[in-house]
């Protein structure tokens, strides 16, 4: 499973990318607001840090304006992926952009039927929001399983990009189901490495090593 980092904070992206853990980046208007920077400027910087796709989202809600904004975003860098809302106008724009050779990410997906429409429109990625589905009392990971089954039934090429991840368990279950990508907040991505037994074992090894009086590096 590929890991995208869900942030517009270039310091976090740079640090995680240096660890070899970042296959791409997703941004949205809320993350751009949090960064406090101009969307073109910060997106261009992000595209220069990572080799993989960087999702940049249109703000328009109507097709013609979406296409105008997509043209601006697409000119930022070769690894831009145009992010579009899961509406009829968004699906129309997805089809047009896909036909023109652009990568597309259809976002704000909350049902398997919506995901089916995105695949039919040729989306590169579909972004189901598991955390927000959990918030309304339904299991968001059930949605991922439904989409995986439908896409496998018909050999759709659209990749399932699990979004709105709230915990390390979301990442694990997404991987077990067979999602293609998880887009993960930096804090959650760092938390994947943590386990109390790892910390305990390391402490014991270090204590024993100190007793040997040896120094590997000399």
Instruction: Report whether pLDDT(126) > 90.
Output: yes
C-alpha pair distances (Å), 76 with each of 17, 30, 46, 81, 194: 20, 19, 10, 10, 36
Give the pLDDT confidence score for residue 142 in this predicted structure.
98
> Is the CB of residue 87 less than 8 Å from the CB of residue 60?
no
Q: Which of left, alpha, beta for 20 (phi over 0: left; psi -120 to 50: alpha)?
A: left
Radius of gyration of the chain (CA): 20
Task: Give yes or no: 83 in active site.
Answer: yes
Helices (H), strands (E): how many in the chain?
11, 8
44, 83, 120, 211: the active-site residue = 83
Give the pLDDT confidence score for residue 158 in this predicted structure.
98
- Strands of 113-208, DSSP E: 125-128, 159-162, 181-184
Question: What mean pLDDT comes out for the span 179-193?
Answer: 98
pLDDT in tens, 95-108: 999 999 999 999 99
Max intra-chain CA distance, the chain: 71
Instruction: Report whether pLDDT(218) > 90.
Output: no
**Percent of the chain scoring above 70 in pLDDT:** 100
Give the pLDDT confidence score for residue 155 in this predicted structure.
98
C-alpha pair distances (Å), 190 with each of 21, 153, 193: 10, 34, 6
pLDDT in tens, 135-177: 999 999 999 999 999 999 999 999 999 999 999 999 999 999 9
What is the SS3 assignment for 106? strand
In sequence order, the β-bridge partners of residue 83 are: 57, 105
Give the pLDDT confidence score for residue 178 in this predicted structure.
98
For helices 88-99 and 63-74, the axis angle rounded to 10 degrees is 40
Label residue 88 by pLDDT band (50, 70, 90).
Answer: very high
Angle CA 146–147–152, to nearest 5: 105
Instruction: Report whether pLDDT(22) > 90.
Output: yes
For helices 112-120 and 140-154, the axis angle rounded to 10 degrees is 40
Instruction: Report whether pLDDT(36) > 90.
Output: yes
Mean pLDDT score of the chain: 97
Q: Which two tokens stand for residue 72?
A: 């601006």
* Residue located via tokens 């399932």: 160
Fold of 2-212: TIM Barrel (3.20.20)
**What sign does the CA torsion over 176, 5, 61, 76 have?**
negative
Instruction: Report whether pLDDT(61) > 90.
Output: yes
Helices (H), the chain: 10-18, 29-35, 39-49, 63-74, 88-99, 112-120, 130-135, 140-154, 168-177, 186-191, 196-212
* Residue located via tokens 């920077």: 37
Give the pLDDT confidence score for residue 103 in this predicted structure.
98
> Is the CB of residue 42 less than 8 Å from the CB of residue 32?
yes
């Amino acid at each position: 499973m590929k890991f995208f980092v869900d942030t517009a904070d270039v310091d976090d992206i740079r640090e995680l990318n240096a660890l070899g853990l970042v296959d791409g980046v997703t941004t949205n208007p809320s993350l751009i607001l949090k960064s406090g920077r101009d969307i073109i400027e910060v997106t261009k910087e992000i595209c220069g840090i990572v080799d993989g796709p960087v999702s940049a989202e249109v703000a328009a809600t109507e097709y013609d304006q979406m296409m105008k904004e997509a043209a601006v975003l697409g000119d930022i860098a070769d690894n831009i992926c145009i992010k579009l809302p899961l509406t009829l106008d968004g699906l129309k724009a997805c089809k047009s952009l896909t036909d023109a050779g652009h990568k597309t990410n259809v976002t704000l997906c909350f049902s398997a039927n919506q995901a089916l429409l995105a695949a039919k429109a040729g989306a590169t990625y579909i972004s189901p929001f598991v955390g927000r589905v959990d918030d309304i009392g339904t299991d968001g990971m059930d949605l991922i399983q439904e989409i995986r089954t439908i896409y496998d039934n018909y050999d759709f090429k659209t990749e399932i990009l699990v979004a709105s991840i709230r915990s390390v368990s979301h990442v694990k279950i997404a991987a077990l189901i067979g999602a293609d990508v998880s887009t993960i907040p930096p804090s959650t991505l760092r938390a994947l490495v943590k386990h109390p037994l790892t910390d305990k074992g390391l402490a014991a090894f270090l204590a024993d090593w100190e007793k040997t009086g040896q120094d590997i590096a000399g």
